[in-house]
C-alpha cells in the first residue's frame, strides 16, 4: 500500500500546554519531517499537559480515529513525578518495540551522561507505530536523523532509518525519505521503484 502518511505529533508539557512557554517540540518535528520525507504526509498535532489519562486518550484517538500510521510524542519521559509519557504509551500498546528506546538512549549518550535517565519507549497499536522522543529540538533531530561527523558523514544512524519499513510491516503506507537527511533502510525484497 502506498499513499498518504498521517503522522500524529504530540507535545506533552504542563507549561507549554497552559501557555507559560512556547512549545518547541511540534515545530521541531514538523521542520525535521518536512526535510526528511519525500512521500506525501500530513500532521495531526496535539499539545497536552502531563496527565496520563489524557495522554492515553490522545494516543488512542490519533491511532484509532485519525488513522495515524506514525505517532511521535515529545516530552514527559524523564524520572520526575510528572513524567508519565512512557506509562501512558505502554498502556495503549499491543506490542512493545524496545529497540527504539535502547537506540535513542545510546545516541544521546554520545552527548550527555544523563541520557540514561530517559525512559522513552515505542509500541505498536493496531496499524500505528507510537514512539516517545526526547523533549529538546536538538535531541529530537539527533535521535531521528543520527549523529554526523564534522565532514557531514553519518557516524551513528538515527532511529528514523528503521521507521518506514516498520510502517510497511504493520500495514501502513510506503514511505520514502530524502537520503541526504536520513536514508530509510529496507531489505532488498521490500524496496519499490522510486515514484516520479
Residues of the chain with pLDDT > 70, as a percent, come to: 98
Judge whether 84 lies within some domain: yes
- Return d(Cα 24, Cα 34) in angstroms, integer: 16
Domain CATH number, residue 170: 3.40.980.10
Judge whether 18 lies within some domain: yes
Strand partners, 133: 74
Indicate the number of domains in the chain. Answer: 1
pLDDT tens by residue, the chain, 196 residues: 458 999 999 999 989 889 888 999 999 999 999 999 999 999 999 999 999 999 999 999 999 999 999 999 999 999 999 999 999 999 999 999 999 999 999 999 988 999 999 999 999 999 999 999 998 999 999 999 998 888 988 888 999 999 999 999 999 999 999 999 999 999 999 999 876 5
Q: Are 182 and 144 in contact (CB under 8 A)?
A: yes
Judge whether 61 lies within some domain: yes
Judge whether 52 lies within some domain: yes
Judge whether 71 lies within some domain: yes
- How confident is the model over 84-123, as pLDDT tens digits? 999 999 999 999 999 999 999 999 998 899 999 999 999 9
- Return d(Cα 29, Cα 85) in angstroms, integer: 17
Which range of residues forms the domain containing residue 148?
5-190
The pLDDT of residue 1: 45
Judge whether 39 lies within some domain: yes
Query: How far lies 75's CA from each of 84, 112, 151, 183, in Å?
Result: 9, 17, 31, 26
The pLDDT of residue 24: 94
Q: Are 25 and 75 in contact (CB under 8 A)?
A: yes
Judge whether 196 lies within some domain: no
pTM as predicted: 0.95
**Strand 128-133 relative to strand 146-148, pairing:** unpaired
Judge whether 76 lies within some domain: yes
Amino acid at each position: 500500500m502506498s499513499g498518504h502518511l498521517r503522522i500524529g505529533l504530540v507535545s506533552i508539557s504542563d507549561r507549554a500546554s497552559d501557555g507559560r512557554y512556547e512549545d518547541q517540540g511540534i515545530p521541531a518535528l514538523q521542520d525535521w519531517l518536512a526535510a526528511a520525507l519525500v512521500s506525501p504526509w500530513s500532521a495531526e498535532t496535539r499539545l497536552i499537559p502531563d496527565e496520563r489519562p489524557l495522554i492515553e486518550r490522545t494516543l488512542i484517538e490519533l491511532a484509532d480515529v485519525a488513522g495515524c500510521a506514525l505517532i511521535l510524542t515529545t516530552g514527559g519521559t524523564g524520572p520526575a513525578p510528572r513524567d508519565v509519557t512512557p506509562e501512558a504509551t505502554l498502556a495503549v500498546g499491543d506490542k512493545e518495540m524496545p529497540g527504539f528506546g535502547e537506540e535513542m538512549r545510546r545516541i544521546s549518550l554520545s552527548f550527555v551522561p544523563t541520557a540514561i535517565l530517559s525512559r522513552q519507549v515505542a509500541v505498536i497499536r493496531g496499524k500505528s507505530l507510537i514512539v516517545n522522543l526526547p523533549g529538546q529540538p536538538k535531541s529530537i533531530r539527533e535521535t531521528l536523523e543520527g549523529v554526523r561527523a564534522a565532514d557531514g558523514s553519518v557516524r551513528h544512524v538515527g532511529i528514523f532509518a528503521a521507521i518506514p519499513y516498520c510502517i510497511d510491516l504493520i500495514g501502513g503506507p510506503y514511505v520514502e525519505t530524502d537520503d541526504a537527511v536520513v536514508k530509510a533502510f529496507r531489505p532488498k525484497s521490500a524496496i519499490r521503484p522510486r515514484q516520479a
